[in-house]
Amino acid sequence: MTAGVYEIKLDIFEGPLDLLLYLIRKNEVDIYDIPIALITRQYMKYIDAMKSLDLDLAGEYLVLAATLTHIKSRMLLPVSEEDEEEEDVDPREELVRQLLEYKAFKEAALGLDRMSILGRDVFGRDHAGEEIEKDEQPLREIGIFELVEAFRRINLDVGQKDSMEIDVEKISLSDRINDIVDKLERRGELTFTDLLEDAGNRRRLIYTFLAILELMKLRIIRAYQAVPYGTIRICLAGK
């Protein structure tokens, strides 16, 4: 039942670097002078335990296991005279840098957690007025299919003039994404048609539509509709 002991502990690690920091602290060793053999041995014990439990989880830990083993072997090799020419680089250096960086952010995360967080430690006034305003018609969230259908209808309206235009304007998806997010941040809510009608030509139309799909996939925006084929409203998620 030794695995059980590890099982409980594994839960508290946020990743391989966290586990390594824990081992360094537990052994009370200097982070700038890590006894690689000792730490690697202990690290591998945890990995073995993890393997027997959850291979998926072990995946990201294995990279570091390989790094540790590599460092260990480099430290065992005698330094040849040739090597001495190209300065004496401690094989542990890169790992230590990575550990210190991670440690700094781990502390920063704890720092954030200690702050007075809205909704947990401190509270603002309730958004009571909002619900009264919004109860005209119940809106339901819609998905990709409704959007595609709506796009098809708009696209038919706009896209009739199909002459060959050579369009030198450069449109990027990220510009369209930023544009939409900016608009929504300013105005709160927009209809699907508002967003697409701004587009003008067909290429921009398509890019705008792709941007909307991307933003929905990333759950940055949400789309709502009161009745089938009705107006589609789009707003930022979490607002």
Partner 1 sequence: MDNLKAVIEALIFVSDTPVTFSRIEGILEDVKEKEISSTINDLIREYEERNEGIFLREVAGGYQFRTGEMVGSWVQKLKGEKPAALSPAAMETLAVVAYRQPVMRSEIEKVRGVDISGTLRGLLEKNLVRIVGRKDVPGRPMIYGTTRKFLETFGLKTLSDLPTLREFRELGE
Nearer to partner 1, 11 or 162 (CB): 11
DSSP 176-236: HHHHHHHHHHHHSEEEHHHHHHTT-SHHHHHHHHHHHHHHHHTTSEEEEESSTTSPEEEEE
Instruction: Identify the residue among 27, 73, 172, 231 touching partner 1 (CB under 8 A).
Output: 172
Query: In the numeric block, which tokens belong to residue 151?
Result: 């796009």
Q: What is the C-alpha separation between 213 and 177, in angstroms, rounded?
A: 10
Choices 2-10, 149-157, 215-223, 227-235 (CB under 8 A): range interacting with partner 1: 215-223
Q: What is the C-alpha separation between 65 and 43, in angstroms, rounded?
A: 7
**112 is a site residue for partner 1 (CB under 8 A):** yes
Choices 121-129, 157-165, 196-204, 223-231 (CB under 8 A): range interacting with partner 1: 121-129
**Residue that the structure tokens 């440690």 belong to:** 103
Instruction: Identify the residue among 37, 38, 79, 109 touching partner 1 (CB under 8 A).
Output: 109
**DSSP H/E element including 140:** strand 140-141
Nearer to partner 1, 89 or 226 (CB): 89
Query: In the numeric block, which tokens belong to residue 126?
Result: 């309730």
**100 is a site residue for partner 1 (CB under 8 A):** yes
DSSP 32: G
**62 is a site residue for partner 1 (CB under 8 A):** no
Instruction: Identify the residue among 54, 83, 107, 141 touching partner 1 (CB under 8 A).
Output: 107
Q: Which residues bind partner 1 (CB under 8 A)?
A: 14-18, 32, 60, 64, 90, 93, 96-98, 100-113, 115-127, 129-130, 172-174, 177-178, 181, 185, 218-220, 236-239
